Amino acid sequence: MSSLKINQEAFIQAVLKTLRKAETELPEDVVNELKKAFEKEVSPVAKAQLQAILKNIALAKKHSIPMCQDTGILIFFVEIGRELQLDFELEAALKKAVQKATKEIPLRPNAVSPLGRKNSGDNTGCGIPDINYSFVPGKSLKITVAPKGAGSENMSALRMFNPTEIDKIKTFVLETVVNAGGMPCPPLTIGIGIGGSFDKAARLAKKALLRKLDTPMDAFEQELLNAVNALGIGSMGLGGSTTALAVHVEKAHCHTASLPVAINIQCWANRHASLVLKGEE
């Protein structure tokens, strides 16, 4: 076994730094796709919206401040090497990092109880932050944080199709985007999960948002992207040629009698950042 040569407090500070980066800097591939959309846009209104988005991104990075007033709920994807041994309780450390981030970045306190609506005040609570674990070969620990705002999350959808309704998936995607309109602040990144189970499809859709936007899309993804952009919803819902920057699909085998399809909508601020720590003997 290999142990991680970092104590809990140093780990919390490293995660805090990653949280700050996720909230204040967009990944380079996302920025590049937004720049491409700006260059090719012919609508003056849409071009002005994209210019404002790019200026916002630059100012957030320059001044190290959140790029959006909705700093989201915090979703972690944790990859743990099978040969790695931790000397501290990981979930407690991640929660502590979120609490510190809320005060120090600062983040808007967004976590409330679902029925009573009482705000925890520090972006933690029952089941929050959302931590997704996977085990991988090796001795490393990778933490990816993806802040998710409500404007885009609320426009997401899931439907349980019959296995004979594969041809209805495209229509479902387009209906979801039309229903969303300008609410999720396009240009969007659209994550789609197909297969698995009711909850597995949703997790696949969320994970699909982490794929780099400069990776090639397959024929089905490109077909969906072309159809979405043909809707003409455009930047911030004010028209234009770019409603979405990318459509990414993740799949899993499913029950012979079901076909779950989940669509997770992401706004132009496709925020995420990663931290990788390597274990030592």
Alpha carbon of 125 to those of 73, 74, 92, 109, 144: distances in Å?
A: 11, 11, 12, 11, 20
Percentage with pLDDT > 90 across the chain: 94
Q: Do residues 168 and 258 share a domain?
A: yes
Q: Could you tell me if residue 241 is inside a domain?
A: yes
Is residue 178 a part of any domain in this protein?
yes
Same domain, 142 and 21: yes
Structural domain for 16, as ranges: 2-25+65-148+271-278
Query: What SS3 class is residue 66?
Result: coil
- Using DSSP's 3-state secondary structure scheme, residue 45 falls into helix
Q: Give per-residue pLDDT as tens, 119-178.
A: 999 999 999 999 999 999 999 999 999 999 999 999 999 999 999 999 999 999 999 999
132 and 168 share one domain: no
pTM, two decimals, is 0.96
Are 92 and 225 contained in the same domain?
A: no
**Tens digits of per-residue pLDDT, 175-231?**
999 999 999 999 999 999 999 999 999 999 999 999 999 999 999 999 999 999 999
pLDDT value of position 5: 72
Q: Are strands 259-266 and 188-195 parallel, antiparallel or unpaired?
A: antiparallel
Give a yes or no: residue 52 inside a domain.
no
Do residues 240 and 206 share a domain? yes
- pLDDT tens for 231-257 read 999 999 999 999 999 999 999 999 999
The Cα 112–Cα 137 span in angstroms is 37
Q: How far apart are CA 256 and CA 195, in angstroms?
A: 10
Q: How many CB atoms lie within 10 A of CB 278?
A: 15
Q: Judge if 240 and 137 occupy the same domain.
A: no
Total number of domains in the chain: 2
Q: Are residues 144 and 156 in the same domain?
A: no
